Amino acid sequence: MTAVVEETAPGKGHGATAAERDHTLITITLRIRRFNPETDAEPYWQDFKVEADPTERILTAMMKIKAEQDGSLTFRRSCAHGICGSDAMRINGRNRLACKTLVKDLDMAKPITVEAIKGLKLEKDLVVDMDPFMQAYKDVMPFLITSGNEPTRERLQSPEDRERFDDTTKCILCAACTTSCPVFWSDGQYFGPAAIVNAHRFIFDSRDEGAEERLEILNEKEGVWRCRTTFNCTEACPRGIEVTKAIQEVKRALIFRRV
């Protein structure tokens, strides 16, 4: 940590980081897809010019617009640190979390497009109706199912058994994956990658006993067999979960355990 202090440029307060020293505000354009159900028949694009530090997040720029230019701009955000999963949006055509997308990682010379995630009903600006998404999540029973008496101590598990589903415990239910899936776009009944990821988290948990039931649900018409392996979900996931792999593992479990 002393290294940081030594690095500090003369004249600046102690503790200034490299980013703070290179602090240069630039003007970027956010091209936001607006929609107000009370006045608009169709969504439309609106450009906002906003000052931003390249190391800032898109979410920061949007909050600045909301505070200084247009208070009616509507979007969800909560933690602002990539944990709550509220601010998945389509930024420059790709699903990402606004709070994890840095301005400098996008083309700052061109307008940056920001629109709602696709495939769920648009309610206002960047807010969509998450109910069908959450319903699919609930349908796979995302909670521990056991039988018999409760043990008097914690339910033990070996590191290897835990490793089996570690990846899918990371999901924050942001819906970036499901709303990047072309099968979900055309068939909203499809459970979608997020529900399958969360089923995977329990199906491969050695402490859980509901695997059969969850597999049965995902074996249905709108379950895993709908997946066409396009990998959009894996690319979209802000948590880096190997979503397509998880779906394939569920397919394999269905084929080899039950046929």
Q: Interface with ligand SF4 by CB under 6 A: which residues?
A: 171-177, 193-194, 197, 236-239, 241, 243
The entry of ligand HEM, ligand SF4, another protein, none that residue 259 binds, CB within 5 to 8 Å by partner kind: another protein
215-254 residues in contact with ligand HEM (CB under 6 A) are: 228-229
Q: Edge-to-edge, what's the strand order for the sheet holding 26-34?
A: 44-52, 26-34, 112-115, 88-91, 94-97
| Amino acid sitting at position 56 | E
Question: Can you say whether the dihedral through the CA atoms of 176, 179, 183, 189 is positive or negative?
Answer: positive
Give CA angle at 194 (178, 242), nearest 5°. 100
- Cα–Cα distance measured from residue 18 to residue 125, given in angstroms and rounded to the nearest whole number: 36
Q: How many Å is the Cα radius of gyration of the chain?
A: 22
Q: Which position among 28, 52, 89, 99 is part of the footprint of ligand FES (CB under 6 A)?
A: 99
Which residues within the stretch 136-165 sit at the binding site for another protein (CB under 8 A)? Answer: 136, 138-139, 141, 143, 145-147, 151, 155-158, 161
Q: How far is the CB of 19 from another protein (least distance, A)?
A: 45
* 3 state DSSP class of 119: coil
Q: Which is nearer to ligand HEM, 21 or 228 (CB)?
A: 228
Hey, which residues between 43 and 82 contact ligand FES (CB under 6 A)? 77-80, 82
Looking at beta carbons, which residue is closest to ligand HEM? 228
Of the chain, the end-to-end C-alpha distance in Å amounts to 58
DSSP state of 60: H
d(CA 98, CA 126) in angstroms, rounded, equals: 11
CB of 61 or CB of 175, closer to ligand SF4: 175
Pick what 79 binds: ligand FES, another protein, ligand SF4, none; C-beta below 5 to 8 Å, kind-dependent.
Answer: ligand FES
Q: Which residues bind another protein (CB under 8 A)?
A: 135-136, 138-139, 141, 143, 145-147, 151, 155-158, 161, 183, 186-187, 189, 203-204, 206-213, 216-217, 219-223, 225-226, 251, 254-255, 258-259
